[in-house]
Amino acid sequence: MKNQRILVAGGTGYIGSHTVVELQEAGYNVVIVDNLSNSNMEVIDGIEKITGVRPDFVQADCTDMPAMEKLFDSYPDIRGVINFAASKAVGESMEKPILYYRNNLNTLMNLLEQMAKHGTKGIVFSSSCTVYGEPDENPVTEAAPIKKATSPYGNTKQISEEIITEVISAGAPFKSVILRYFNPVGAHPSAEIGELPNGVPQNLLPYVTQAAMGIRKELSVFGDDYPTPDGSCIRDYINVVDLAKAHVIAVERMLEDKSDDKVEIFNLGTGNGVSVLELIDTFEKATGVTVPKKIVARRAGDIEKVWANPKHANEVLGWKAATPLADTMRSAWAWQQKLRERGIM
């Protein structure tokens, strides 16, 4: 049943590209659609180097309905969709809310409409633990309450989950698996693909590797006065290849009708809470490289602590985040070194 066609929207991005690799390794045919707003064509070369297969690529914006119509018409064999195509910077979303609502919501609605027209079996959707806000208790299960979003970005994830659920309960002829990611980090072990932050990194690990490389003077640790064991915030850092593998399982689950539920939701995390200072320490020990850093004030809007209870995904999907954090840190550093070799950063 493999060698079926999967449309990966946002497939040249960070999580998308790692997922395309895993899909191809599992025998699926992939067509990527991406507008390259936050990625580039070299990612396709990286995917081809790793897998030996060059995925089909269509450069288009998913908010462009005629372009999506054309895409689905020219690939009548699309059986499933994975949607990574979205803007994802929390801070930017505060400044440009319309951009975020338009990009993230119109993309989703266009894909759903085309899927219904073309008989696509299901959609895997990239959601986020941001829907839980500051959780009342950790680790967080899928039953934890959804908290009011604190950014337009976070709100697009909540609304997207609602759109999918409502469209399917209104009778749309497809299924969905909604995946709530915790903090994806690291790169493919080949160092052929990885995270390519645009400008100054907003996320922790890209900043760590850039500070370690000397691209940034020092890492600012946003607060050491939180009520946590070492005073820094706690997250659940999940290896991006482990995360990508969950998508392959989710796709297979939909295409092979393994569940009676039309919409399923899974947390994707390791189940381990790791503080900012612990993450830096793990990076330094794993790579032997020192990260210049200073403690600064808290960052507005930060969650104090959040980590996953991944039991539902472990048991139902038979998936587990397996990569040790030290290996993930080494993969991120190898990728940073590769970017330096190529003269990119």
Contact residues: ligand UFG, CB under 6 A: 88, 90, 128-130, 154, 183, 202-204, 207, 219-222, 233, 235, 276, 299, 302-303, 306
Amino acid at 86: A
Q: Which residues are catalytic?
A: 153
The least distance separating ligand UFG from the CB of residue 213, rounded to whole angstroms, comes to 14
Q: Which is nearer to ligand UFG, 60 or 221 (CB)?
A: 221
The least distance separating ligand UFG from the CB of residue 290, rounded to whole angstroms, comes to 16
Q: Which is nearer to ligand UFG, 207 or 319 (CB)?
A: 207
DSSP conformational letter for 308? B
The least distance separating ligand UFG from the CB of residue 92, rounded to whole angstroms, comes to 11
280 CB-near residues (< 8 Å, 6+ apart): 208, 219, 221, 291, 293
Q: Which is nearer to ligand UFG, 50 or 90 (CB)?
A: 90
The least distance separating ligand UFG from the CB of residue 250, rounded to whole angstroms, comes to 19
User: Which long-range contacts does 282-288 make (Cβ < 8 Å, 24+ apart)?
Assistant: 282/325, 282/326, 282/329, 283/205, 283/208, 283/209, 283/212, 283/329, 283/332, 283/333, 285/326, 286/325, 286/326, 286/327, 286/329, 286/330, 286/333, 287/212, 287/329, 287/330, 287/333
Terminal alpha carbon distance of the chain: 42
Which strand (E) or helix (H) includes residue 179? strand 175-181
* Residue nearest ligand UFG, CB atom distance: 233
Helix extents (H) in 56-203: 65-74, 90-95, 97-101, 107-118, 152-169
